Structure 1
């Protein structure tokens, strides 16, 4: 079957048990952090430990071979070490995602898959961002960014190292460490934290610290006392790196904590801490560390995609950790170990090509896996209106909804919870003979003095423009309707002041003010719940009780002003079976109605709405 190369006892002894223990510590830190951030606030620095270890090991290999490096064999060894298990993971995760993910989410997954296959996913995730995309903790291939950087390092570093004169290597490495870490710190100071985190250049310094350690420690050894002291300092640095580092200000100079800590522990090979790291259990976990890293994140991400929640139950945690270990043992025993023995011969290359072909065919066929069990989500179920037709974040036409042959009777102002009512007012207005003007913004209730700085950057300019549009339109209306996701806005004292001032001034100028309650909210993604039920998977839907508290607070605020009306349909018969109405899903996500829901809602509320708007 496989052409194998006998592993000599001397080469087996070259595997440092304490470094395997360090690998175990690194992967366990990452695993704990990814399960629950509060358990180990900076456990993500385990990745930086891996990078230092990789730099040290690769450079040590190059130093041992000296001028006799066989570059073909060197790169072949890197490929067979990383790619086989990586390809199997990508293939199986792709098949599972094709079955479980909604079509738009699988499209996003496929984009990330392409970058992962090309080992440039760090660039992909650095620029990744979409309002409609799954949350980052639901992206199964997010963890491939570090493997992409590792492969990029393996591609370019040996060439640099081989071309650098021996006597200048340490100096060159030290210079590059300063430059790359300085570049990373500059990105952080320039408010480019995401780019800094995924940067190949910024992370290169971490590999290079390991490389410099290999160069400086060649042929040198420390006394037990010095090794113990260095190991103690290294451990303190690692503990600090696991607990005090702010991810938003990382890596930069903060990366020195885990990197120098790791370097000191590698250098202190005879210290008592290294003896502990050489324990059989730590070495066993270290041997599985690559597979654990490969498998733990996709399992966590897909489970979180399924539940719609970041938090894990103890049962889920135990199941995912157990499954990660099982898959890791299988991967090491039947994929990684045989692959490492493959020689660069026609038969070895043929086996590798066959494996790649099988994985490629499976990935190419994956989109068809879901075609029999899922259909494209109907457009009317996945949005609340045609975005090009509504005045949400911008003005489109006259912004009138309802019976457009009649002058608008009210100005409706709101955030996306107002935007979801475009078809609501269309249906109600056409049924009862009225129209309204509807101006909304993303995360923004565009009233004067709204705290624009609180909302996401992408929405701020549009919010300011919509505030100006509202100010220009106010004098034309005697009725004002306010709609919002009150649960979110009530966290801001400035917003409470702005909305109070607006209601007060509107009433003082003789206007009628109507405030609509927030509609019921749910935990989880309702389109996904519908999809999972179609797949035969249990998908419980629960209401988020906080919307009720928000409605009580907005009601308390509004009823302080005589003449202002608070209108609450959230407890009406229409929402009795929410998120469904007569068997149809009426929500596009956890807190927005879809087109279907907006129209049904409009038909339900039309008579009372007409009375409210006309009674002034």
Structure 2
């Protein structure tokens, strides 16, 4: 496709071939994360292609003074909305039949977010894309559409403004935005922001922007044949490397997506004269998959989600084969009978908009009903219903309560003025510390104290030994920031105890991980004591290592045998953690909090108790279970000088007995 004045757009079959590579890579990753570990980067290939194609259209038409925003958005609606709404209508019906209440509520919220072009923002706050729980969300894959839709809204306006007022600065401005977005992505990952870096447009715009630059730079696609063939080989090699890469970063400052995007850019530059690679991409099988790639992307994920959701297990090889055939069939039907008719000019724009508006409104109403009715709970009765109520209910700090802190961020806990310097108590750890935040916040209210939560997710709070050198650095910076706070009198440490291998800041592996963890915590406690700070330590609990609330409730609802354990034998738990527990319980200078005293009884450390799940997922406690654990915190903290109870007004306490974190 050429993007200069006087040139008409030319169809490039190799780009459809690239689309095929992208969608097949994504499907392979979603079927098995081990077969093609970087397959999710197929989305990044799509982003680069979209940036190139959309910018080519806009810049060519603005150069010819024929660009119309109304016509541009009409084309986007015709391209995206009919197939998307068809998918959402079908998935909504299936969700109403199959999804259990907690999941149906989440589905309703995700459907409304998808209709509002903010699916990426919703899923940023809702889930980790790579977590097992993500496999139960039928619309998760629409996060990428959210990114593209936001790009389609803002980027044309930028190009029009640049073309009208400063056309010579266009490439410089877009290049600057690409660089800023890439830097923002790297910085976000380094500062505990891998999730927003993954989901949000500002940290993804560089991928679309690189494609856009190819459409804007004169001569970018007019290189000599030898250069194009070299670019083709280099691009293919980079994409293959990216799809096989297993880590989120390559080194310290290169996102894993960079080789995929760079490779895509090189293949765009190579064009149809890129030699064997270009000819391969332009072959009929690749082009055929590329033509239906949008519909195939839409349908592949719900097919996998609903299959796994009902079976409550991974699919067999034969079942994967059947699922793939179903995806292809549904995609072809969608492309042939939905995409093509709506994109054709025979259907008037008025009718397109009318059908789109009606479909979106109908889906929105049904989604709202799912939310308002708490997921149509009357469809489910007994233990399946009560256990399912815990799904995904572990505490997460509200975005509005986060403040910059150290190498990551802190969450306000009973800090009315949100002045970090006034915090007297710090809950320090990771997501396993965060899950206890409602208990700690309630105790802060009782004592009239102020506090913050510092959750460096995926890391330990110990700077001497941690899960990686990067985590050790984060812990060190956070600790220095904590030590600089003038009013801190108590630090509550909430580490994980099930982490396997610890390393020092240089990456040297520490032998005997249990002993190493004890030594690392002792060193941290000693450093805090040297600063005159009291320390409380939250002890270990037995965790299920599977999504107990979701899996057990589905097995009960669908009549499957329950094969996963509902408890861990206390003897096994103590064999693993007994020495650690004895060590810290014997220290008189540490308030040691024993959640295992609540969880374990009669020789069993429960995951499910009285037909209710204590856990919201594979390891985090559900908020509804926290009142059971609050007395363990209170009794331990009574040993500290920080504990000075005051009377709580009834209005301050929620129905479950926990005071909510926040201002």
TM-score, normalisation: structure 1: 0.65
Question: 1:508 maps to what in 2?
Answer: none
Q: How far, CA to CA, are the matches of 2:557 and 2:293 in structure 1?
A: 34
CA deviations 1:302-328 (Å, max 9, x no partner) are 55555667x654345334333322322
CA deviations 1:134-159 (Å, max 9, x no partner) are 83443333322221121122122223
Q: How far, CA to CA, are the matches of 1:177 and 1:576 in structure 2?
A: 56
Equivalent of residue 82 in structure 1, options 80, 85, 88: 80
Matched, 1:40 2:36: yes
Q: How far, CA to CA, are the matches of 2:280 and 2:136 in structure 1?
A: 36
Note if contact 1:197-1:251 (Cα within 8 Å) is conserved in structure 2: no
Query: How is 1:1-80 mapped onto 2 (pairs within 5 angstroms)?
Result: 14-65=10-61, 66-80=64-78
Matched, 1:194 2:195: yes
Displacement of 1:161 in angstroms is 2.3
Displacement of 1:193 in angstroms is 3.1
Matched, 1:336 2:358: no
**CA 1:47–1:168 in 2, change beyond 3 Å: closer, same or farther?**
farther
**CA 1:594–1:43 in 2, change beyond 3 Å: closer, same or farther?**
closer
Note if contact 2:221-2:269 (Cα within 8 Å) is conserved in structure 1: no
Displacement of 1:17 in angstroms is 0.9
Note if contact 1:20-1:282 (Cα within 8 Å) is conserved in structure 2: yes
Deviates more, 1:82-91 or 1:274-283: 82-91
Question: 1:258 maps to what in 2?
Answer: 260
Q: How far, CA to CA, are the matches of 1:170 and 1:454 in structure 2?
A: 50
| Corresponding residue SS for 1:541 | coil
Q: How far, CA to CA, are the matches of 2:454 and 2:180 in structure 1?
A: 37
Displacement of 1:286 in angstroms is 0.8
Question: 2:560 maps to what in 1?
Answer: 538
| Corresponding residue SS for 2:277 | helix
Q: How far, CA to CA, are the matches of 1:251 and 1:187 in structure 2?
A: 12
Note if contact 1:451-1:494 (Cα within 8 Å) is conserved in structure 2: no
Q: How far, CA to CA, are the matches of 1:470 and 1:207 in structure 2?
A: 44
Question: 1:153 maps to what in 2?
Answer: 151
Displacement of 1:168 in angstroms is 6.3
Note if contact 2:115-2:360 (Cα within 8 Å) is conserved in structure 1: no
Question: 1:178 maps to what in 2?
Answer: 176
CA deviations 1:530-588 (Å, max 9, x no partner) are 54355434253323989875544446889999x9xxx999999886999677xx56755
Matched, 1:374 2:397: no
**CA 1:595–1:114 in 2, change beyond 3 Å: closer, same or farther?**
closer
Q: Which 5+ residue runs of structure 2 have no aligned equivalent?
A: 1-6, 396-412, 415-431, 440-452, 501-511, 524-538, 587-595, 629-663
TM-score, normalisation: structure 2: 0.61
Question: 1:91 maps to what in 2?
Answer: 89
Note if contact 2:388-2:550 (Cα within 8 Å) is conserved in structure 1: no
**CA 1:38–1:547 in 2, change beyond 3 Å: closer, same or farther?**
farther
Note if contact 1:579-1:585 (Cα within 8 Å) is conserved in structure 2: yes
Question: 1:229 maps to what in 2?
Answer: 230
Note if contact 1:45-1:241 (Cα within 8 Å) is conserved in structure 2: yes
Note if contact 1:123-1:198 (Cα within 8 Å) is conserved in structure 2: yes
Q: How far, CA to CA, are the matches of 1:366 and 1:560 in structure 2?
A: 50
Displacement of 1:167 in angstroms is 11
CA deviations 1:31-85 (Å, max 9, x no partner) are 2223333322322322121111112222232345421224322211111101112
Highest CA radius of gyration, 1 or 2? 1
Note if contact 1:380-1:595 (Cα within 8 Å) is conserved in structure 2: no
Equivalent of residue 292 in structure 1, options 290, 293, 296: 296
Note if contact 1:52-1:206 (Cα within 8 Å) is conserved in structure 2: yes
Question: 2:207 maps to what in 1?
Answer: 206
Question: 1:113 maps to what in 2?
Answer: 111
Note if contact 1:51-1:207 (Cα within 8 Å) is conserved in structure 2: yes
Question: 1:481 maps to what in 2?
Answer: none
Q: How far, CA to CA, are the matches of 2:368 and 2:172 in structure 1?
A: 45
Query: How is 1:572-583 mapped onto 2 (pairs within 5 angstroms)?
Result: none
Q: Cα RMSD (Å) of the superposition?
A: 5.6
Q: How far, CA to CA, are the matches of 1:203 and 1:359 in structure 2?
A: 28
Displacement of 1:180 in angstroms is 3.0
Note if contact 1:177-1:206 (Cα within 8 Å) is conserved in structure 2: no
Equivalent of residue 493 in structure 1, options 515, 526, 531: 515
Q: How far, CA to CA, are the matches of 1:155 and 1:579 in structure 2?
A: 47
Question: 1:282 maps to what in 2?
Answer: 286
Query: How is 1:356-435 mapped onto 2 (pairs within 5 angstroms)?
Result: 356-366=360-370, 370-374=376-380, 377-378=385-386, 382=390
Q: How far, CA to CA, are the matches of 2:199 and 2:289 in structure 1?
A: 27
Note if contact 2:600-2:606 (Cα within 8 Å) is conserved in structure 1: no
Question: 1:602 maps to what in 2?
Answer: none
| Corresponding residue SS for 1:246 | coil
Displacement of 1:96 in angstroms is 3.4
Q: How far, CA to CA, are the matches of 2:167 and 2:307 in structure 1?
A: 46
Question: 1:605 maps to what in 2?
Answer: none
Q: How far, CA to CA, are the matches of 1:578 and 1:185 in structure 2?
A: 43
Query: How is 1:544-583 mapped onto 2 (pairs within 5 angstroms)?
Result: 550-554=573-577
Q: How far, CA to CA, are the matches of 1:124 and 1:226 in structure 2?
A: 43
